[in-house]
Amino acid sequence: MTDGDSPQGERLQKVLAARGWGSRRVCEEMIESGRVRVNGETAVLGRRVDVERDVVEVDGAPVGIRPDLVYYLLNKPAGVVSTAKDTHDRETVVDLVPAEPRVYPVGRLDAETEGLLLLTNDGELTFRLTHPKFGVEKEYVAQVESDGRPVSREALAVLRKGVDIGDGVTSPAEVGELQPGVLRIVIHEGRNRQVRRMCETVGYPVVRLVRTRIGPLVDKSLRPGEWRSLNLDEVRSLIEAVAGEPSDTL
Ligand code: URA
């Protein structure tokens, strides 16, 4: 358990807001009006909690991860579409995970893009993870056409700074070259075919694209087509990554 004055732990209003109890301001008001208890004691504003150990209640009801919510991490293979239902009856990512309860992909990967995709029935988390203002990092490994030669320094600089891909300039990205023609790209946005369009624009069309990280989530052991449930720590780390108001993260 944490001491209320300890600098460790997360601010109570942030924890409550991340679990869907309203904005931080609303959650602060809930605390101020005495509706929130931590380990059986009425909490005061400024209280920090250890989400692993402290028992938080609002109006006497425990605040945790709701048992009806599921979170799957899928390694999407190439050729599978990311929509819930494909108009051409192609296999979709939803076909690769349990049918019940019904889940939806969080954002999209192009049909030919491989790698990590989250599927869940948690609408609030989906909203936050796909909201551009939260800017959750997505990491990709992109193999580009470069005839086996390294990508030019100019192209890397433009990718890092921002590229005009037709519908505006992309935000600054982290870009490194893992080996000649193989780039590691970290972006915060989720525009349609963004990585492909960025690379194409600087003269290096993508031949293979794999997503290797979504915010704090990584998994090198899932084979293409395999999925697993997130563990509690992973769900918590995702909630933490998108906690608060969108503008707090700008
Ligand atoms: N960027 C792309 O070009 N495609 C994806 O699927 C994801 C990011």
Catalytic residue among 110, 167, 219, 233: 110
| In a domain? residue 1 | no
Query: Residue whose CA is closest, atom 4 of ligand 1?
Result: 193
pLDDT at 248 (0 to 100):
47
- Candidates 114, 155, 94, 136; CA nearest to 242 is 136
221 in Cβ contact with 135 (< 8 Å): no
Q: Is the same domain home to 155 and 198?
A: yes
% of the chain surpassing 90 pLDDT? 62
Weakest-pLDDT range from 85-94, 150-159, 197-206, 241-250: 241-250
Rg (CA), the chain: 21
Asked whether residue 91 is assigned to any structural domain, the reply reads yes
What rounded mean pLDDT belongs to the chain? 89
Position 207 scores a pLDDT of 98
Measured CA angle at 23 (ends 19, 29), to 5 deg: 105
Residue 196 CA, closest ligand 1 atom number: 3
Query: Is residue 144 located within the same domain as residue 126?
Result: no
Residue-wise pLDDT tens digits, 74-93: 999 999 999 877 778 889 99
pLDDT at position 103 is 94
- Could you tell me if residue 141 is inside a domain? yes
Query: Hey, which residues does 143 pair with through a beta bridge?
Result: 182, 208
Tell me which of 24 and 139 has the higher pLDDT: 139
Q: Mean pLDDT check: name the lowest of 6-15, 165-174, 209-218.
A: 6-15
Q: Which residues contact 131 (CB under 8 A, 6 or more apart)?
A: 242, 246
Which residues, including other chains, have CB under 8 Å from residue 161's CB and lie 6 or more apart?
A: 172
- My answer on whether 121 and 231 are in the same domain is yes
Please tell me which residue, 245 or 110, carries the higher pLDDT value.
Answer: 110
Distance 224 CA to ligand 1 centre (A): 17
Atom of ligand 1 at shortest range from CA of 206: 3
Q: Is 147 a catalytic residue?
A: no
Overall average pLDDT of the 57-76 stretch: 80
For the record, the structure tokens of 176 come out as 């490194």
* Spatial CA neighbour of 109 closest among 28, 192, 36, 183: 192
- Calculate how far, in angstroms, residue 250's C-alpha sits from the geometric centre of ligand 1: 23
- Write the DSSP symbol of residue 228: E
> Domain containing 81: what range?
71-133+216-241
pLDDT tens, residue by residue, 173-194: 999 999 999 999 999 998 999 9
Q: Is residue 195 lining ligand 1, measured as CB closer than 6 Å? A: yes
- Give the orientation angle of helix 123-130 with respect to helix 232-241, to 10 degrees: 50
The whole-number pLDDT of residue 21 equals 74
Domain identity same for 205 and 170: yes
> Do both 119 and 141 map to the same domain?
no
| pLDDT tens column, 5-62 | 456 788 999 888 877 677 888 899 999 999 999 988 999 999 999 876 787 888 876 6
142 and 75 in a common domain: no
Alpha carbon of 193 to ligand 1 centroid (Å): 4
Whether 226 and 128 share a structural domain: yes
pLDDT at 249 over 60: no
The answer to whether residue 30 is domain-embedded is: yes
| pLDDT score of 115 more than 80 | yes
Does any domain span residue 3? no
At residue 108, the pLDDT reads 93
pLDDT at 247: 46
- Regarding whether 221 and 201 lie in a shared domain, the answer is no
Number of domains within the chain = 3
CATH number at residue 225: 3.30.70.580
CA 56 distance to own-chain centroid: 25
Who's near 41: CB < 8 A, 6+ residues apart? none
**H or E element that contains 14:** helix 12-18
Q: pTM for the complete prediction?
A: 0.76
Whether residues 155 and 192 share a domain: the answer is: yes
Q: Which residue's CA is minimally distant from atom 5 of ligand 1?
A: 109
Q: What confidence score (pLDDT) does residue 64 get?
A: 65
Task: Please give the Cα distance from 108 to 103 (Å, whole number).
Answer: 14
Centroid of ligand 1 to alpha carbon of 210 (angstroms)? 8
Ligand 1 and 110: CB distance under 6 A: yes
Beta pairing partners, 116: 75
Answer whether residue 248 is part of any domain.
no
Concatenating the DSSP letter of every residue in 168-220 gives: SBPPP-EEEEEETTEEEEEES---TTHHHHHHHHTT--EEEEEEEEETTB--S
Do 224 and 129 belong to one domain?
Answer: yes
Q: Give, rounded to a whole angstrom, the gap between the first and last alpha carbons of the chain.
A: 32
Q: At 37, which CATH number? A: 3.10.290.10
200 and 225 belong to one structural domain: no
Please tell me whether residues 220 and 210 are part of one structural domain: no
Residue 193 Cβ inside 6 Å of ligand 1? The answer reads yes
Q: Please return the burial class of 78, using the count of CB atoms within 10 Å of its CB with bins 0-12, 13-18 and 19+.
A: middle
| Residue 249, domain member (yes or no) | no
CATH code, domain carrying 192: 3.30.70.1560
Question: Is the Cβ atom of 194 under 6 angstroms away from ligand 1?
Answer: yes
**pLDDT value for 69:** 82
